[in-house]
Homo-oligomer: A and B are copies of this chain.
Amino acid sequence: MLASTHSAASEPAETLTVMGGGLVGCLLALYLARHGHSVEVFERRPDLRGSTTVEARSINLALSDRGWRALEGVGIAEAVREVAIPMRGRMMHDAAGQLTFQPYGQAGQAIYSVSRAGLNRRMLDLVEQEPNVRVQFNQRCQHVDVRRRQLELRDETTRETRTVPYQRLFGADGAYSAVRAALQRTDRFNYSQHYLDYGYKELTIEAGPDGSWALEKNALHIWPRGQYMMIALPNLDGSFNCTLYFPYEGPNSFAALQTPAQVRAFFAEHFADALPLMPALETEFFANPTSSLVTVRCFPWTYADDVLLLGDASHAIVPFYGQGMNAGFEDCTVLAELLDRHGNNWEALLREFETSRKPDADAMADLAVYNFHEMRDRVADPRFLLQKKIEGKISAQYPDKWLPLYSQVTFSHLPYAEALANGQAQEQIMQRLMPSITTEADYEQPEVQALVAAEMAQRP
């Protein structure tokens, strides 16, 4: 057994297997290769970069600080920044088409709209330039035998099935992970998959004829409607990718919208300012799938000292905090730090990874569901928006004592579990302060200033 702290340079390289060539799988492969290992990546889908691959829909993701740091760690951040669109705040659209802008953070802070497929392509390019990494596409993992350490892979082009041994296996194969499915059948594997009663549908706001943006470009647009909402993220070509988050059943639901006329009438009533910008609405509504929203939790994330789950495979979350990809990328940052510290002492490395990271993954899953309620409902409440403004003032006045929860999650590298705990403590303080506050200006009142000072005096 190796000592638990030593430099990676002294370690013999191993051949490592990564299941999944998506965003997390690619980034992980880069980190493992940079630590001196040979890496074999198996991806179920065809190569995204192939000329025959037509993307039906281009999903956008919100890249934020944790994701950027992970990309910087392998030198890819600058290239991505060129194709990313900063979104500096939420632009709320009320039913009358009135707009309210709420900044996400301080001046200069933003989250970034990036195309999932575009990012994945760029990362595959980088992975292929890495001499120690080999990616094989069209490799469906049909079975993992964790006791014998072998994979059963089906080549989707030749339809042939082969058995491939592995030394160490990293499951970065997403929310429906085949590696996790194998772990689920082992004894004492805790597991849950929980679906919201909401589905989502992707729609499009078209670009203007001159390639301009029909809505404010540098914002994440939200149409909050209480029990449901639509959001829109900007694309480079002037269009926006919209997502309708909507109940499966009930009076306003996917089940209730069965005809193009019903869809148009519904949008005309509830999303009136967006409707003229969505000429393909009815076609897209019935052509695009209704997708479900799952939270996956499990533990352990390892099997013996030769299997590890990362990203959505171990902690798939709902998309409402824009942290799914960022959390998966941060897994890579955490793992890289442990590779530096533990070298090839995989037993120590894997134990520390799963025990230190699991509370953060659980906290992020809770935060993501929490933000769904905030986005669809609370952001339309003037009192809630006032509270957010007051929070901003507290944070500006007491920068060492107060960082809004959203900023802790999005613009810091504080562990998610700490962010959640801080956020809950801050929310309790706001619940005590807000009864004394009616307008933004009230914050300057001496009695409010005294209340705030008293609360701040009790914070570390």
Stretch from A189-197, A269-277, A331-339, A449-457 contacting the other chain: A189-197
A189 proximity list for chain B (CB < 8 A): 193, 195
> Cβ of B191 and Cβ of A292 under 8 Å apart?
no
A160 proximity list for chain B (CB < 8 A): none
Is A148 close to B, CB under 8 A? no
Q: A187-B292, A292-B187 are in contact. Are A194 and B193 (CB under 8 A)?
A: no
Is A147 close to B, CB under 8 A? no
> Cβ of A190 and Cβ of B194 under 8 Å apart?
yes
Complex Cα gap A288–B192 (Å): 30
Closest CB-CB distance, A294 to chain B, in whole Å? Answer: 8
Sample (17) of A-B pairs whose CB atoms are under 8 Å apart: A184-B193, A187-B195, A187-B292, A188-B195, A188-B248, A188-B292, A189-B193, A189-B195, A190-B193, A190-B194, A190-B195, A191-B191, A191-B192, A191-B193, A192-B192, A192-B193, A192-B194
Closest B residue to A199 by beta carbon equals B188
Q: B-contacting residues of A (Cβ < 8 Å)?
A: 184, 187-195, 248, 292
Complex Cα gap A441–B114 (Å): 74
Closest CB-CB distance, A253 to chain B, in whole Å? Answer: 14
Closest B residue to A297 by beta carbon equals B192
A184 proximity list for chain B (CB < 8 A): 193
14 other A-B residue contacts (CB within 8 Å) besides A184-B193, A187-B292, A192-B193 = A187-B195, A188-B195, A188-B248, A188-B292, A189-B193, A189-B195, A190-B193, A190-B194, A190-B195, A191-B191, A191-B192, A191-B193, A192-B192, A192-B194
Closest B residue to A196 by beta carbon equals B188
Complex Cα gap A364–B351 (Å): 34
A248 proximity list for chain B (CB < 8 A): 188
Complex Cα gap A190–B191 (Å): 11
Max chain B C-beta neighbours (<10 A), residue from A188, A190, A192:
A188
Closest CB-CB distance, A57 to chain B, in whole Å? Answer: 18
Closest B residue to A193 by beta carbon equals B191
Complex Cα gap A184–B181 (Å): 11
Closest B residue to A176 by beta carbon equals B185
Complex Cα gap A184–B248 (Å): 19
Complex Cα gap A192–B195 (Å): 12
Closest CB-CB distance, A34 to chain B, in whole Å? Answer: 36
Q: Which 9 A-B pairs have the closest CB atoms?
A: A192-B192, A188-B195, A188-B292, A191-B193, A187-B292, A190-B194, A190-B195, A191-B192, A190-B193
A188 proximity list for chain B (CB < 8 A): 195, 248, 292
Closest B residue to A190 by beta carbon equals B194
Complex Cα gap A193–B188 (Å): 9
Closest CB-CB distance, A369 to chain B, in whole Å? Answer: 14
Complex Cα gap A248–B248 (Å): 43
Closest CB-CB distance, A250 to chain B, in whole Å? Answer: 15
A194 proximity list for chain B (CB < 8 A): 190, 192
Complex Cα gap A191–B189 (Å): 13
Complex Cα gap A188–B190 (Å): 19
A193 proximity list for chain B (CB < 8 A): 184, 189-192
Closest CB-CB distance, A122 to chain B, in whole Å? Answer: 31
Complex Cα gap A292–B193 (Å): 21
Closest CB-CB distance, A71 to chain B, in whole Å? Answer: 32
Closest CB-CB distance, A391 to chain B, in whole Å? Answer: 35
A195 proximity list for chain B (CB < 8 A): 187-190
Complex Cα gap A368–B130 (Å): 54
Complex Cα gap A193–B187 (Å): 11
Complex Cα gap A16–B189 (Å): 33
Complex Cα gap A195–B186 (Å): 12
Closest CB-CB distance, A248 to chain B, in whole Å? Answer: 8
Complex Cα gap A92–B16 (Å): 54
Closest CB-CB distance, A376 to chain B, in whole Å? Answer: 19
Closest CB-CB distance, A148 to chain B, in whole Å? Answer: 19
A192 proximity list for chain B (CB < 8 A): 191-194
A187 proximity list for chain B (CB < 8 A): 195, 292
Complex Cα gap A193–B194 (Å): 12
A190 proximity list for chain B (CB < 8 A): 193-195
Complex Cα gap A271–B415 (Å): 46
Closest CB-CB distance, A381 to chain B, in whole Å? Answer: 30
Complex Cα gap A193–B191 (Å): 5
Closest B residue to A295 by beta carbon equals B190
